[in-house]
Amino acid sequence: MAFLFGWLSMLVTDPGITAAVAVGLATYVSYLFPLSSWGRGAVAVGAIAVLAAVNMRGVRFSSGVIRGLAALKLGVLGFLVLWGLGLGRGDWSNFVPLVAQRPGSKPLVDALIGGMIAAFFSLGGWWDVSKIVGEVRDPRRTLPRALLLGVILVTVVYVLINLDPRLARAFLLTIGRPPDGQERDVARRFLQTPPARYSELAPDDARHRAWADFCQMILASNSFLYVE
């Protein structure tokens, strides 16, 4: 069984996870710099090659690079959190409804499958970190603490980063005031229930199109046209 698991990890599981994460990175890069499908593929392959070269340099060097990237990522996320909350533009209503099914959301089974795929990537981190037991001092004490603190940190950052200030910022930049309760409710219903004409678009494209249409609605409103 261990022999089969080793070959499975080397030929299927680990390469598949690496490729999926690299494609995700390339997709985010394409939002910053317009890329063709070939360009996204080149970014993904290049990222894998660079990180492979880093790991080949040795454990000390590669662990330093990983710590640096993690610090950079948490620093950027922390800046976004402090920026949103510091300016008073965060909104806890982003988490409402917490349990109820949103209008236009996927059926329960499809949603669970999608959620389990994301959970699988998280599980990958748990089983990969267990491979370093032989390299860690006092692993019985260190690894459980690292896993627990890591999960708590990720959860806190996830909650804080989702206090999305975009809705309030759109009103402040155009008409100079935050939205009132009714405006906020109408805007959220529009953004959370994509119009039928978006049905042929990918989810990310539909979400971006909804935000673009929403901003056009603000620019065409009386509050903007007659602002003093």
At 85, is the pLDDT very low, low, confident or very high (cuts 50, 70, 90)? low
Reported pTM: 0.57
Rounded to whole angstroms, the Cα distance separating 215 from 208 reads: 11
Could you report the per-residue pLDDT of 104-158, keeping only the tens digit for each?
A: 667 777 777 877 777 777 777 777 777 777 777 888 888 888 888 888 888 887 7
Could you report the per-residue pLDDT of 51-80, keeping only the tens digit for each?
A: 999 989 888 898 899 889 888 988 888 887
Mean pLDDT of 156-175: 72
At 201, is the pLDDT very low, low, confident or very high (cuts 50, 70, 90)? low
- List Cα–Cα distances, 135 to 59, 138, 142, 143, 148, in angstroms: 10, 10, 11, 11, 19
pLDDT number for residue 145: 86
Rounded to whole angstroms, the Cα distance separating 30 from 23 reads: 10
pLDDT number for residue 44: 93
